[in-house]
Amino acid sequence: MELQVFILVLGLLVGTSSPDMGTNHGKSPDSHDHGPQSQGNHTQSKKPFPVLSLGYDHVKLPFEISLWVLLASLMKLGFHLIPRLSSIVPESCLLIVVGLLVGGLMKLVGEIPPVLESKIFFLYLLPPIILDAGYFLPIRQFTENLGTILMFAVVGTLWNAFFVGGLLYGVCQLEGHRLVTVDLLSCLLFGSIISAVDPVAVLAVFEEIHINELLHILVFGESLLNDAVTVVLYHLFEEYSSVGSITFMDVFLGIVCFLVVSLGGIVVGAIYGILAAFTSRFTSHTRVIEPLFVFVYSYMAYLSAEVFHLSGIMALIACGAVMRPYVEANISHKSHTTIKYFLKMWSSVSDTLIFIFLGVSTVAGPHEWNWIFVMATLIFCLVARVLGVVGLTFVINKFRIVKLTSKDQFIIAYGGLRGAIAFSLVYLLKTEHFPMRNMFLTAIITVIFFTVFVQGMTIRPLVDLLAVKKKQETKRSINEEIHTQFLDHLLTGIEDICGHYGHHHWKDKLNRFNKKYVKKCLIAGERSKEPQLIAFYHKMEMKQAIELVESGGGAKLPSALPSTVSMQNIQPKKPPQDRALPQLSKAREEEIRKILRTNLQRTRQRLRSYNRHTLVADPYEDGWNELLIKRKKMMELEKKISQMNNYLTVPAPPPDSPTIARARLASDPQAWGLKSVTESIPTIKVDLASPQSPVVDEFSKKGSQPKASKEEEGGLTMKVPSPTKQRKDKTADEDNDKEPQQRLMRCLSDPGPTAEEEDEDEAFLP
């Protein structure tokens, strides 16, 4: 049913969309309809006032763009409505097919389908995808594998370019008649365009197969970093193909140019990234425009790099990666979510549009099919890729700790997809300089189709067949975080002991530099001094708090981990035989009771104020405050319920003698389940000969109760109840709240001695 409505809408869209989007986006006609008419009113006879008139021209361009975007998005929706289709065929294939259909429809209708113009592609469609990738780039894996990635990106692409270009030239020469006009430089240019792995296609396909992080970052990193190589080769060959020859000087300049292009791009990106981080430091009063800064600075980085013909992709990646840690420390949680969702949305739309336009352009573009050339291109591309990967891995494995297995190599080779960047680059070639341009175009489209369709569709079953490790979906736990940091320091220490300036040493130095100087400039306020572990812990708490609020709060949470472990199980037990029960005077008891009461209040206050302190960054987090209120209410409620239960099971003790009271308490293990803490109660005098010694147990337990409760409450203040901890903390919480109340009640009615709890320095016994 939905499908049919959907197809109907689609048909309408196609019918109404007008073709000229690609070529006519210069000046939109700004003549209004009222103009000529009002003039006409003066000179001619008066026409009736137009109530409803049609003026399409002046909204034509935005209208068309919106229609295309709408079409793309509806397509995306449609695919997921069809069951099982999206699990077999990757989205990119489906979108290209849709593009083909739309283009075919347009041609049938008689209109010219728009072509994916390079300017639109490079300036509007590509940046969101790259920014999304760069901002969320997993820095840790990226830097750990940087050597490998660079090898693949630079050496691999060069190898591919020359292999394909050279062999194609050979084929052209051999073939004779039509192809002999293709000279070496044109072939090399074609080779360099087609050899670059495309980030858009790789992202589109790899995102769906959830492959393990190492392979993902290798292929994806390669696709990003080979942009510099492609840019340099492209310009080099384009410049000199008209001249017809290349000297060594040119090659040398080309190498220099490569360094300039890549490093320049990175520097430009880093500068803009730092600017963005610095700006975000001051946005605490205008939270609403925080995401805007992230987007605009990044886009400016891209455009600035393009001005100087530097690598815009690398600039964008560098900008996103540099600014992210600082910006995220400064901006509010809502801005963070906004940035994330906007980036994902834009990159998704871009991605969809690109593939649809690829399909449309295939139908539209001028084609020149030459069997030999196209087939040769395809075969050489595949062969070059496989040889390149195998050869490079052989060299790289000598330097890697984690070797790349042949399964990994296969996936890397197979994941070398070509995409729209290659298409746009060929499209940019002018036919006057390159008479073979149309043939190139056809060949490129064929290769793109092959890689996206055949390789894209089969990679998923192959991954399953080869049992390649998939991405682990586990959430990062606090233990792993602690140990990751511990390992970092440990390895740095061992490297220092060995006197070896390795990877960890420099990373450590960078971190220290970062902490000492950079963070102070770029992060606002107190957050600049926050260590990573604390930040991680806060994030985790925040996440759990939000989960709690979203799941409706309350005690009926389904816990992720069915565990009944709570804080009380962790606190170490005090060996009971160490302490004995001293004698206490009534005055002392009064004093103790008073201390108990005041300290309880103090703990409560500390509970609240501590929470406010940890949330100093965000007074805008409404959910948080509500959560606190809710939690308090729930605590009160549960306390009331438990107190009622308590009355049923443990009747209020009548004021009888201490020994009887103590005996009763001793027989009630439930109430005294809490264990004491290790901090010693300082001034208890041990009197082993005392007849009170049988009561030693409860005393120590009771005595350390308050301290335990304080410790646990102190410990609990930082913790926002997670779904698992929620229940347990509540129990512990309410236990704690219950205990002092109970103890108070019992104190009041039963003059049993209780110990000093809060202030260790306050003398308990003289």
**211 phi and psi angles, rounded to 5 deg:** -85, 165
Q: What are residue 367's phi and psi, to 5 degrees?
A: -115, 150
Q: For other proteins, which residue of 497, 587, 644, 648 counts as binding (CB under 8 A)?
A: 497
Q: Nearest to residue 705, comparing CAs of 752, 659, 661?
A: 752
Question: Which of 183, 207, 495, 589 touches other proteins (CB under 8 A)?
Answer: 495
* Number of neighbours of residue 194 by Cβ within 10 angstroms: 28
Of 29, 110, 558, 562, the one binding other proteins (CB under 8 A) is 562
Best CA proximity match to 315, nearest among 386, 260, 267: 267
344 binding other proteins? (CB under 8 A): no
Q: How far is the CB of 319 from other proteins (least distance, A)?
A: 28
For other proteins, the closer of residues 486 and 647 by Cβ is 486
Residue 561 lies near other proteins (rule: CB under 8 A): yes
- CA end-to-end span of the chain: 85
Binding test (CB under 8 A) with other proteins, winner from 157, 332, 492, 736: 492
- Whose Cβ is closer to other proteins: residue 175's or residue 213's? 213
CB of 678 to other proteins, least distance (A): 6
State in angstroms the smallest separation of the CB of 401 from other proteins. 4
List, as one string, the DSSP characters of 256-312.
HHHHHHHHHHHHHHHHHHHHHHHHHTTGGG-GGGHHHHHHHHHHHHHHHHHHTT--H
Please name the residues in contact with 43: beta carbons below 8 A apart, sequence gap of 6 or more: none
Q: Cα–Cα distance between 198 and 217 in angstroms, integer?
A: 14
- Contact mark string toward other proteins, 79..98, x via CB under 8 A: --------------------
Q: Closest approach of Cβ 610 to other proteins, in Å?
A: 8
Query: Which residue type does 219 have?
Result: V
Candidate residues 85, 375, 478, 521; the one interacting with other proteins per rule CB under 8 A: 478
Indicate whether 682 belongs to the interface with other proteins (CB under 8 A).
no
Least distance CB 451 / other proteins (angstroms): 31
CB of 712 to other proteins, least distance (A): 8
| CB neighbour list of residue 20: distance below 8 Å, 6 or more residues apart | 60, 64, 112, 114
CA–CA separation, 739 and 745 (whole Å): 9
Rounded distance between C-alpha atoms, residue 638 and residue 553, angstroms: 13
Quick check: 605 binds other proteins (CB under 8 A)? Answer: no
CB of 518 to other proteins, least distance (A): 15
* 214 vs 296 by CB, closer to other proteins: 214
Residue choice 12, 109, 345, 494 for contact with other proteins (CB under 8 A): 494
- For other proteins, the binding residues in 498-537 under the rule CB under 8 A are 498-505, 512, 529-531, 533-534, 537
- Report which residue type is found at 659: T
Exactly one of 20, 111, 464, 480 binds other proteins (CB under 8 A); that residue is 480
Give the ranges where 514-649 is alpha helix by DSSP (H).
519-522, 532-550, 567-570, 586-614, 622-649
Residue of 7, 259, 288, 490 that binds other proteins (CB under 8 A)? 490
576 interacts with other proteins by CB under 8 A: no
The answer to whether residue 138 forms part of the interface with other proteins (CB under 8 A) is: no
Q: Which of 291, 282, 387, 389 is nearest to 338 (CA)?
A: 291
Amino acid at 652: A
Number of residues that bind other proteins (CB under 8 A): 66
Report CA 371 to chain centroid distance, whole Å: 44
Closest C-alpha among 393, 446, 444, 397 to residue 422: 444
Question: Cα 205–206–212 angle (5° rounding)?
Answer: 165
Instruction: Indicate the SS3 state at residue 127.
Output: helix
Please state, in angstroms and rounded to a whole number, the distance separating the CA atoms of residues 700 and 227. 70
Angle between helices 723-749 and 622-649 (to 10 degrees): 50
Part in contact with other proteins (CB under 8 A); list of ranges 18-26, 39-47, 644-652, 719-727: 719-727
From the list 42-50, 408-416, 566-574, 686-694, the region that binds other proteins by CB under 8 A is: 566-574
CB of 191 to other proteins, least distance (A): 35
Residue in 73, 143, 484, 741 binding other proteins, rule: CB under 8 A:
484
By CB under 8 A, name the one of 337, 458, 564, 657 that touches other proteins. 564
Rounded Cα distance, 505 and 510, in Å:
9
CB of 711 to other proteins, least distance (A): 8
Whether 673 and 568 have beta carbons less than 8 Å apart is answered as yes
Q: How far is CA 110 from CA 13, 125, 363, 508, in A?
A: 16, 27, 13, 65
| Residue where the block lists tokens 């992080």 | 213
Q: Which of 486, 506, 513, 517 binds other proteins (CB under 8 A)?
A: 486
Choose the stretch contacting other proteins; rule: CB under 8 A; options: 94-102, 146-154, 485-493, 639-647: 485-493
User: Taking a C-beta distance cutoff of 8 angstroms, is the pair 166, 416 a contact?
Assistant: no
Among 401, 648, 688, 689, binds other proteins (CB under 8 A): 401
- 183 lines the binding site for other proteins (CB under 8 A): no
CB-nearer residue toward other proteins: 344 or 613: 613
From 236, 237, 231, 240, select the one nearest 265 (Cα to Cα). Answer: 231
Toward other proteins, which CB reaches closer, 385 or 743? 743
CB of 477 to other proteins, least distance (A): 6
Contact at 8 Å (CB) between 458 and 411? no
Told to check if 563 binds other proteins by CB under 8 A, we report: yes
Angle between helices 213-241 and 248-280 (to 10 degrees): 130
Which CB atom, from 204 or from 548, has the smaller least distance to other proteins? 548
| Residue of 14, 101, 491, 535 that binds other proteins (CB under 8 A) | 491
CB of 716 to other proteins, least distance (A): 8
Binding window for other proteins (CB under 8 A); candidates: 221-229, 260-268, 327-335, 671-679: 671-679
> Per rule CB under 8 A, is residue 477 in the interface with other proteins?
yes
- In this structure, are residues 698 and 574 in contact, taking their beta carbons and an 8 Å threshold? no
Which residues of the shown chain bind other proteins in the complex (CB under 8 A)?
A: 401-403, 472, 474, 477-480, 482-487, 489-505, 512, 529-531, 533-534, 537, 561-573, 669-670, 673, 675, 678, 714-715, 717-719, 724-725, 731, 735
